[in-house]
Amino acid sequence: MWVAHLNRLPTRSRIARWSPQASPLCCLCNSFEKTRDHLLISYDYSSAIWSPVLARLGYYHNILSWAEFMSWIRVSSSRCPSTLRQLVAQATVYHLWKQRNNVLHNTTSISVHSVFKLIDKEIRNAISARRLRKNFRGLMSLSL
């Protein structure tokens, strides 16, 4: 996630700066320059994944830029704490980048619904693991 935040992902637009013969166009849509914002936020596939992810958290607005995305992560509310937002952001960015690699290197694509299910399961597992870890610590202190 920090590589994405620092805008150091090896996207085609960055590679084109190093190598003039490389195309800066997105390998997924061939319409726009492949930047971090395009790949992770504004690309149709990314937007289609973000919509149900954000809706699950009770946020029904589209995120339009990386700056808006980062401010959304930092805002905390009683309904959706910032730790949960950070977990959701990390899982979603990871799966979007994984899907980009899958299309680029294997020429296969996974449906939006399948990726959403993977993200949802990963977040549920992380929440369960954190709950168990807290209970485990409590049990360890009682037994000592």
> Which pLDDT value is given to residue 140?
41
Specify the pLDDT at position 130. Answer: 81
pLDDT of residue 10: 57
> What whole-number percentage of the chain has pLDDT above 70?
67
Q: Which residues of the chain have pLDDT under 70?
A: 1-36, 134-144
Buried b (16+ CB within 10 A) or exposed e, 35-45: bbbbbbbbbeb
Nearest to 127 by CA among 100, 88, 94: 88
Q: Are 12 and 26 in contact (CB under 8 A)?
A: yes
Is the separation of the CB atoms in 7 and 37 below 8 Å? no
